[in-house]
Structure 1
Amino acid sequence: MSNLPAIKNLDGLIVGSDGLARPAWATEGMLQSYYDTEWGMPVRGEREMFERVSLEVFQSGLSWATILRKRDAFRDAFHDFDPDIVAKFTDADVERLKANTGIVRNVAKISATISNAIATVRLRDAGGLADFIWSFKPAATPTPEKFSDIPTSSKESTELSAALRARGFKFVGPTNMFALMEAVGIVDTHLVGSHRRGSSGVWVVESRNSVS
């Protein structure tokens, strides 16, 4: 199947030379690897969830490819996103991060990540960040046939945004939180027909004839 040509359909699926169907954004390089191995898979640990929230904060207004390219630098700069360490960052750490060309040097986002680490530590009294976010899992997931069918927010992401803000989190708007919910498996927005649809095990795989 290595000789199959890619079938281009920017709003739908692209069948690559490996015979696997993916959305247009996930057909090359690191984005394809991320799509095939990580995006949409369940995240249950506190540190892992804090990292995902933090990366969504930094991604706001930027492409996800930009964040992925800088991910290792982010992990190094934020001590592998250990919330206990980040919660204790000082003004000197902020200055250090502002000078770090490997990451996104946005002071508001850096400060928000520190605030979110503090809020993550406090949230342990309510069961922890991961369980808190998963508690907003909807009763059903979208079944998009094409990219334009995928919503950018939902009732649940709006509620999650409000709940996190009430707990002291920042840069956690409904759109960011829907993207987070997609990334960590809370909703499955893989296009119906994608080879990754249902791969998280959280949702039942639908056929192309399923009605959403």
Structure 2
Amino acid sequence: MERVRCGWAGTDPLYCAYHDEEWGVPERDSRRLWETLMLEGFQAGLSWITILRKRETFGAAFAGFDPDKVAAFSGADIERLMGDPGIVRARAKIEATIRGAQIFCAMRDQGEDFSAYVWGFVKGAPIRSDGLNVPAKTALSEAISKDLKKRGFKFVGPTIVYAWMQAIGMVNDHAATCFRRDQIAP
């Protein structure tokens, strides 16, 4: 019996695996939440499959997305990254990731857990959509975007934030006919 997936997953095996195993699963690990937000920022203007295909290389280039290491990246690291064909070589996005790591570390050092911060916007519980009408952004993604920008994050507009909310499981936007919809809470 063939599984019915969300239409965006298509037939690419990598995309299907991402859909089946990761997308929409509630993520609570602060470092992974930050990493996913940074990758969503790199996706701006591109397709997610482009980032997904480069994700392993991104991880190697950005020190396993260890925020402490990335926060300490220097101008030489920026130049190294600009020369890495395995990632998206956009200086503004690279610099935004380094700055994002610095903000993440500052939040942590001041006693603010990134996961608690993120999930606080939904009182710790994922939102379940109707699975029929998936918006590009919502009032909530606009509010989160505004707060992230106020903190100094870049490439966190409301559309990027909404895609991130879907990816990390803050919103269950699996299609009404998708086999994963009822497997993922709520």
Q: TM-score, normalised by structure 1?
A: 0.82
Deviation of the 1:24 alpha carbon: 2.3
| Number of residue pairs aligned between Structure 1 and Structure 2 | 182
Aligned match of 1:143: 130
Which residue of structure 1 aligns with residue 92 of structure 2?
Answer: 108
For 1:10-49, what aligned pairs fall within 5 Å after superposition? 19-28=2-11, 29-49=13-33
**2:113 aligned to which of 128, 135, 138:** 128
**Counterpart secondary structure, 1:86:** helix
**What is the alpha-carbon distance in structure 2 between the residues aligned to residue 171 and residue 126 of structure 1?**
24
Q: Distance in 2 between matches of 1:37 and 1:79?
A: 24
Q: Deviations over 1:75-110 (max 9, x none)?
A: 000011010100000000000000000000000000
Larger Rg: 1
- Which position in structure 2 is the counterpart of 1:55? 39
Mapped partners of 2:122, 2:43: distance in 1: 22
Instruction: Looking at secondary structure, tell me which structure has more helix per residue.
Output: 2
Kept after mapping to 2: 8 A contact 1:137/1:187: no
Task: Indicate yes or no: 2:44 matched with 1:67.
Answer: no
The letter of the residue matching 1:134 is: W
In the alignment, structure 2 segments of 5+ residues that lack a partner are: none
Q: CA RMSD in A?
A: 1.4
One-letter code of the match for 2:9? A
Aligned partner of 1:143: which letter? D
Q: Report the counterpart of residue 197 of structure 1 in structure 2.
A: 181
* Residue number in structure 2 paired with 1:158: 142
Q: CA deviation at 1:130?
A: 1.7
Secondary structure of the 1:70 match is helix
**Identity %, equivalent residues:** 43
TM normalised by structure 2 equals 0.93
Please say if residues 188 and 198 of structure 1, whose CA atoms lie closer than 8 Å, have aligned partners that are also in contact. no
Unaligned 5+ runs, structure 1? 2-18, 204-212
Higher relative contact order (CA 8 A, sep 6+): 2
CA–CA distance in structure 1, aligned partners of residues 48 and 90 of structure 2:
16
